[in-house]
Amino acid sequence: MSLPPPDPFLRLKARGAASNAAGRFETYSRQAENDGWDLPEEERALRTEVTEEFPRSVLNPVGSPDLGFDRSVNPYRGCEHGCIYCYARPSHAYLGLSAGLDFETRLIARPNAPEILAREIARKTYKVAPIALGTNTDPYQPIEKRYRIMRRIVEVLSEWNHPLSIVTRGALIGRDLDILGDMARRNLVQVGISVTTLDAALARRMEPRAPTPERRLEMIRALTGAGVPVRVMVSPVIPVLTEPELERILAAARQAGAVAASWILLRLPLEVAPLFRDWLLRTEPGKAAHVMNKMREMRGGKDYDPDWDRRMKGEGLHAELIGHRFAIASKRLGYAADLPALDCTAFAAPPRPGDQLSLF
């Protein structure tokens, strides 16, 4: 059974979700109903809205034991890319918004994030370690073209010789190659590019406002051409839909210049599960049951298992088979086990006008 549409006269152009169910913390839900009047209704396009917030802190401590970083920064909340499977969708519930259409149309920008970050890393008690960007929503999503928050964050970190890692599928990262290439020469940056499928038509349905698969391969070529080490992230791996492409994605990304690779099984936490099931029924009805049966096979009979040891890779024979295929293909293609560690020793406050310069 599909989720009810938010409004039958709302035109959803290039959107991942097709519903806007209330967040899990909300007391009431809303549903459009016909008022009984036989009057024509005007079709309306659903437009993206951006609200600004000005936080007092932007450096988030990360305690998850299955992640390779301990701090992150998020320039934006919500993501216009509209990827239907995005595990960050439930975070919109904390804002009183829906994980469905609200997540991809009612966005939050944080224009003062670069200045707040500079203040936080300038504290005498601060201990340097790589900062991860793009771990929740994409820092290079389309609204970055207008706000340029991510570019200013990268500029701050470059001035301080502070290491960072970026995860994105946004083509706007190419705009910042001048800074990222310079940081790469100082061993201060590495980038992960997410490639879910090489099928442009499937990508269009599944990730409606994200760059095409070929564009992402071009991003890898451009980054590696500028000297930036790139990891291809085959994530999420979706059984039946994208899983058969695993080896082809790894081969295409290696040819484009990626030097390391990783994979993550599709994650369907909280509100993401019903949204993804609804999307399957709308766009892949003949495969919907097969996809979800395979997912439950790798999630202990459930749509999702949040256990630290299993949430990224799943469990059971099928999950093990995906892991073996990935390992064999990675070895055959010459992928490194991991990207080199970033340099944390050069971190220092940038010189200011009037500072005494060193003689050497």
One-character DSSP codes across 256-286: HT--EEEEEE----TTHHHHHHHHHHHH-TT
Residue 57 is assigned to a structural domain of this protein: yes
What number of residues does the chain have? 360
Residue 294 is assigned to a structural domain of this protein: no
Residue 207 is assigned to a structural domain of this protein: yes
User: 131-133 and 71-73: which strand pairing?
Assistant: parallel
pLDDT in tens, 93-139: 999 999 999 999 999 999 999 999 999 999 999 999 999 999 999 99
d(C-alpha 208, C-alpha 157), whole Å: 31
Asked whether the bond before 350 is cis by omega within 30 degrees of 0, the reply is no
Domain hosting 227: range is 51-261
> How large is the average pLDDT for residues 218-231?
98
CATH code of the domain covering residue 186:
3.20.20.70
Residue 357, pLDDT above cutoff 60: no
pLDDT in tens, 194-223: 999 999 999 999 999 999 999 999 999 999
Residue 315 is assigned to a structural domain of this protein: no
Residue 25, pLDDT above cutoff 80: yes
Kindly report the CA angle at 184 between 328 and 175, in degrees rounded to 5? 100
Residue 10 is assigned to a structural domain of this protein: no
Residue 92, pLDDT above cutoff 90: yes
Of the candidates 141, 241, 252, the one whose C-alpha atom is nearest the C-alpha of residue 201 is 241
CB 49 within 8 A of CB 105: yes
> What are the tokens at 18?
């097709």
Report pLDDT for 254. Answer: 98
d(C-alpha 95, C-alpha 137), whole Å: 15
pLDDT in tens, 231-275: 999 999 999 999 999 999 999 999 999 999 999 999 999 999 999
In three-state secondary structure terms, 55 is: coil
- How many structural domains comprise the chain? 1
Residue 15 is assigned to a structural domain of this protein: no
d(C-alpha 284, C-alpha 2), whole Å: 13
Distance of CA 246 to the CA centre of its chain: 19
> How large is the average pLDDT for residues 139-157?
98
Higher pLDDT, 354 or 66: 66
pLDDT in tens, 341-353: 999 999 999 987 6
